[in-house]
């Protein structure tokens, strides 16, 4: 969940030991998704819950764009396609 300037997680989500590349990619994707909410999604709020899909879709898109551009996971769009 995102708050202004802070992303909170359930401690089970974070691995203290050695995480696999897939787990690291999932964590990075979640961070980028929540950062997209902080920077873009929380600035504009839908009038009602039926517009929530657009806010989440935009955060997904920007999260994957940031993942490809700013991390080691340059093939993140392939993971996106497989996950869907």
**pLDDT tens digits for 4-45?**
777 777 777 776 677 888 888 888 888 888 888 888 766 667
Q: Which of 28, 25, 29, 27 is nearest to 11 (CA)?
A: 27
Q: Are 64 and 29 in contact (CB under 8 A)?
A: yes
Asked, for residue 13, whether it belongs to a domain, the answer is: no
Alpha-carbon Rg for the chain in angstroms: 14
Report the number of distinct structural domains present in the chain: 1
Domain annotation covers residue 61: yes
Identify whether 62 is part of a domain.
Answer: yes
Within a domain: residue 55? yes
**Annotated catalytic sites, by residue?**
34
Q: Which domain holds residue 79?
A: 51-84
pLDDT recorded at residue 3: 64
**Average pLDDT over all residues of the chain:** 82
| Residue that the structure tokens 């869907």 belong to | 84
> How confident is the model over 58-80, as a mean pLDDT?
89
Residue 45 placed within a domain? no
* pTM of the predicted model over 0.85: no
Residue 60 lies in a domain: yes
């Amino acid at each position: 969940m995102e708050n202004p300037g802070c992303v909170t997680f359930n401690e089970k989500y974070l691995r203290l030991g050695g995480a696999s590349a897939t787990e690291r990619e999932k964590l990075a994707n979640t961070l980028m998704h929540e950062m997209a909410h902080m920077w873009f999604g929380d600035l504009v709020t839908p009038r009602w819950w039926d517009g929530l899909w657009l806010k989440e879709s935009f955060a997904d898109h920007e999260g994957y764009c940031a993942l490809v551009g700013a991390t080691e996971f340059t093939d993140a769009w392939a993971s996106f396609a497989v996950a869907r």
